[in-house]
Amino acid sequence: MNYQTCTLCPRQCGVDRIHGETGFCGCPGNALVAKAMLHKWEEPALAGNGGSGAVFFGGCTLGCRYCQNMAISGGAVGKEMDSTQLRMLFEDLIAQGAENIDLVTPTHFLPTILPALSPKLPVPVVYNCGGYERVETLRELEGCIDIYLPDLKYADSHLAKELSGAEDYFKVAAAAIREMVRQVGPVRWKGERVEKGVIIRHLILPGCVDNSLRVLDWIGETFAPGQVLVSLMRQYTPMGNLHAPFDRRVTESEYESVLSWMYLNKLQGFTQEAEAADKGFIPDFT
């Protein structure tokens, strides 16, 4: 795992980020921290009373056209930090009361992040990602991550290509999520908090109910009841100049259809109120 011939993500650009070459993520060979905060809006089983200690990294390996974090995901944004500085940042968030350390879009900076996770932190470490991960890279994380929080955005390859430039998204993400579950096992609770396991997020997209049903079918067919949790998200907020139907929010009818399918698949987890689809919930990255 290195920056010099970078194959950290499924794009496998093979560039030398140490010497100024950039690949799909557009980022250098050191971590870029765009924001660190106590994040109260994560799932209740993660945020608790103190909030997640969210560390938002600049750049991304997906580049979704509707990304709510577009201000930082589009390239080399943030303060450069080495492993020692990252460790100090994690410890400072914990001192402020963080319930966990929430690594948001960390994949393309793992050579810097991994040393910062040793020795083990006194709170769970959350790997918060878009689901588009290489199994080979994830294997390097075994024993370092307590909670995996991947998206499973698409079962539809055409949708994945159009909106994220990743036609192979489902095949890649499905293999990645299986690896995550293999590493951390079934969900384990400590009181009202998840302390270990996999929580799969799915964002409902307007006009794409069939895509959501296929995603939920796969989760229900692949994992035993309660083995993973599902976070069904209705927070889609139109960003940029996207064509219909992506220029509107999810309707009540669309949400209810997907929610009913989640229950039919006997999936456990979290849901969102309609009020979540508001730009006011997007962190201020300025």
Query: Can you give the CATH number for the domain in which 166 is found?
Result: 3.20.20.70
Task: Please tell me the distance from the alpha carbon of residue 239 to that of residue 246, in angstroms, as a whole number.
Answer: 9
Residues 155-166 pLDDT 10s: 999 999 999 999
Element (H, E) at 260: helix 252-264
* In-domain check, residue 16: no
- Which amino acid does the sequence have at 152? L
* In-domain check, residue 176: yes
Q: Which pLDDT score, from 0 to 100, does residue 41 have?
A: 87
Q: Which two tokens stand for residue 61?
A: 């390996």
* In-domain check, residue 64: yes
* In-domain check, residue 42: yes
Q: Is the dihedral of CA 103, 105, 107, 109 positive or negative?
A: negative
Region 70-91: mean pLDDT is 93
Rounded to 5°, angle at Cα 204 from 274 and 209: 115
* In-domain check, residue 3: no
Task: Please tell me the distance from the alpha carbon of residue 56 to that of residue 34, in angstroms, as a whole number.
Answer: 6
Count of structural domains, the chain: 1
- Provide the pLDDT confidence category of residue 239 given band limits of 50, 70 and 90: confident
Region 20-28: mean pLDDT is 95
The DSSP code sequence of 109-167 is GHHHHHHHT-SPPSS-EEEEE-S---HHHHHTTTTT-SEEEEB---S-HHHHHHHHS-T
* In-domain check, residue 132: yes
Alpha-carbon dihedral 215, 182, 46, 203, rounded to 10 degrees: -10
Task: Please tell me the distance from the alpha carbon of residue 240 to that of residue 242, in angstroms, as a whole number.
Answer: 6
What are the C-alpha distances in Å from 256 to residues 66, 72, 259?
22, 32, 5
Q: Which pLDDT score, from 0 to 100, does residue 281 have?
A: 53
Task: Classify burial at 230, counting beta carbons within 10 Å of its beta carbon; exposed 0-12, middle 13-18, buried 19 or more.
Answer: buried
Q: Which pLDDT score, from 0 to 100, does residue 284 have?
A: 64
Contacts of 259 (CB under 8 A, 6+ apart): 232, 271
| Mean pLDDT value across the chain | 94
What is the domain extent for residue 240?
25-281
pTM, rounded to two decimals: 0.95
* In-domain check, residue 248: yes
Task: Please tell me the distance from the alpha carbon of residue 72 to that of residue 25, in angstroms, as a whole number.
Answer: 11
* In-domain check, residue 17: no
What letter does residue 75 receive in the DSSP assignment?
S
- Provide the pLDDT confidence category of residue 273 given band limits of 50, 70 and 90: confident
